[in-house]
Amino acid sequence: MDLLEYQGKQLFARHGVPVPAGQAARTVEDAVSAAEAIGYPCVVKAQVQIGGRGKLGGIKVCADRAQAEANARAILGMDIRGLTVHEVWVEAASQIDAEYYASVVFDRSAKAPLVMLSTKGGMDIEQVADEDPDAIAHLHVDPLLGFQEFHGRRLAFEAKVDADVVRPVGAMLARLYEVFESEEATLVEVNPLIVTPEREVRALDAKVTLDGNALFRHADNAELRDLSGEDPQERMAKERGLTYVKLDGNIGVLGNGAGLVMSTLDVVAQAGGAPANFLDAGGGSRADAITSAVEVILSDPKVKAVLFNIFGGITRCDEVAKGLIEAFAQIKPTVPFVVRLDGTNDAEGRKLLADAALPNVFTESTMDGAAAKVVELVGGSA
């Protein structure tokens, strides 16, 4: 679960990470009163999960009330790469002496948290890593030991931060690690981490990803989910407890098991088609589960045909067929379906479908055959 910048900063503040004072606002009036309370100069920042907002006009400095109002009006409601800005964060403008980069990431290969620090802040860190890898200091932390003060010193010296801020930068890394660990984040990133002319360090941005599987231990964080930026189908699927990812094509895809569905998307693409979505129905043999999933897929107006790919293991294909027949009776879909049933009781399942003679439903016994059929139904290659 990705947090908005200001949500990340509020988490930071709770753990003692220094951040500029600020307030969130959803209306121009609220943004102006926030600016008045904070004082000038201040900054109005669009709250969307898109990198490079500043270059796209989503971050503006205000010298006075009139500018605060004009900027808030311009930013609230603007479209940034397909996302509408519903909220802004108004914060005190910061004077900047130096821009650093700091992060704590969940390093899957090392199976340990990785802390990184660089004096090349304010730019794309992947680019820095490519062009000047030595400019980034790295340190894996044994999660059973936790982050110690010496870790902070090592990183600060290795990254060659200014000598007078070695201590405060080390202290900030310790607090960022605390955010990572205690809030169960998988990413905590500050870019830029600034040094002010008074030689104070502050997190000027905040990028935090929380582990959705751990939210049962963090009731406050569970409420931070940002639904406004989500695609309508993805939101609908989430409400129904389905694993759904929206894609760009016109062939709806439904299957059982994440790997099989991913593979189905690939096979459809190889056959010249363009998948409209990823949907893992799980064990989904029950009619209500299938109905629910098919409704989500068909709510995407681009879908011209649906491929239903089931490999029955413990799930029996005859039960899936029964579920499908019931679901069809309820939904009465108008687009064609290709149903591939293979595995446990597949012959029985295919017979049930044949006997039901559902309109516009084609059964196939192989994945490749089913993919070819559905591509043919939408009118050939994309």
Partner 1 sequence: MSILVGTETKLCVSGITGREGTFHSLRNREYGTQVVAGVTPGKGGQDVEGIPVFNTFHDAVDRTGANTAMIFVPPRFAADSILEAEDAGIELIIAITEGIPAHDELRVYNIIKKNGRARLVGPNCPGILSPGKANVGIIPASFFSAGNVGVVSRSGTLTYQIGNVLARSGFGNSTIVGIGGDPVPGTDFIDAIGLFQDDPETELIVICGEIGGDAEERAADFIEASVTKPTIAYIAGFTAPPGKTMGHAGAIVSGSRGTAAAKAQALESKGVRVGRTPTEVAEAAAALLGS
CA distance 200 to 96: 10
Please enumerate in sequence order all residues whose Cβ is within 8 A of that of 268, keeping only pairs 6 or more positions apart, or say none. Answer: 251, 253, 274, 275, 307, 371, 374, 375
What is the pairing mode between strands 251-255 and 207-210? unpaired
Confirm or reject binding of residue 291 to partner 1 (CB under 8 A): no
Nearer to partner 1, 91 or 300 (CB): 300
Judged by CB under 8 A, the chain residues 55 through 114 that form the site for partner 1 are 106, 108-109, 111-113
Of the candidates 245, 298, 325, 382, which one interacts with partner 1 according to CB under 8 A? 245
Nearer to partner 1, 95 or 270 (CB): 270
Judged by CB under 8 A, the chain residues 111 through 130 that form the site for partner 1 are 111-113, 126
CA distance 318 to 325: 11
6 in active site: no
Nearer to partner 1, 144 or 163 (CB): 144
CA dihedral 258, 259, 260, 265 (to 10 degrees): 90
Applying CB under 8 A, the site for partner 1 has a residue count of 49
Strand partners, 253: 307
Confirm or reject binding of residue 230 to partner 1 (CB under 8 A): no
Nearer to partner 1, 95 or 366 (CB): 366
101 in active site: yes
379 C-beta neighbours (distance < 10 Å), count: 11
Please give the DSSP secondary-structure letter assigned to residue 382.
-
243 C-beta neighbours (distance < 10 Å), count: 14
Confirm or reject binding of residue 265 to partner 1 (CB under 8 A): yes
Contact stretch for partner 1 (CB under 8 A) within 34-42, 158-166, 273-281, 354-362: 273-281
Contact stretch for partner 1 (CB under 8 A) within 5-13, 152-160, 286-294, 362-370: 362-370
Write down the least CB distance from residue 41 to partner 1, Å: 33
Residue 253 dihedral angles phi and psi, to the nearest 5°: -130, 135
Tell me the three state secondary structure of residue 146.
coil
Confirm or reject binding of residue 270 to partner 1 (CB under 8 A): yes
Confirm or reject binding of residue 222 to partner 1 (CB under 8 A): no
167 C-beta neighbours (distance < 10 Å), count: 14
Confirm or reject binding of residue 313 to partner 1 (CB under 8 A): yes
Write down the least CB distance from residue 250 to partner 1, Å: 14
Residue type, 219: A
Judged by CB under 8 A, the chain residues 328 through 357 that form the site for partner 1 are 342-344
Please enumerate in sequence order all residues whose Cβ is within 8 A of that of 118, keeping only pairs 6 or more positions apart, or say none. Answer: 100, 101, 102, 125, 128, 135, 136, 137, 159
Contact stretch for partner 1 (CB under 8 A) within 18-26, 27-35, 85-93, 179-187: 179-187
Which one of 91, 183, 189, 364 is the catalytic residue?
A: 189
Which one of 101, 178, 244, 319 is the catalytic residue?
A: 101
Is residue 1 within 8 Å of residue 215, measured between CB atoms? yes
Confirm or reject binding of residue 220 to partner 1 (CB under 8 A): no
Is residue 100 within 8 Å of residue 123, measured between CB atoms? no
Confirm or reject binding of residue 243 to partner 1 (CB under 8 A): yes
CA distance 58 to 132: 29
Could you tell me which of 243, 333, 249 has the C-alpha nearest to residue 284? 243
What spatial distance separates the first Cα and last Cα of the chain, rounded to whole Å?
33
Q: Exposed, middle or buried: residue 116 (CB in 10 Å: 0-12, 13-18, 19+)?
A: buried
Confirm or reject binding of residue 381 to partner 1 (CB under 8 A): no
Contact stretch for partner 1 (CB under 8 A) within 5-13, 152-160, 210-218, 295-303: 210-218
Catalytic residue list: 101, 189
Where do contacts with partner 1 occur on this chain (CB under 8 A)?
106, 108-109, 111-113, 126, 142-144, 181, 184, 186, 211, 213-214, 216-217, 243, 245, 247, 255-263, 265-270, 275, 278, 280, 311-314, 342-344, 366-368
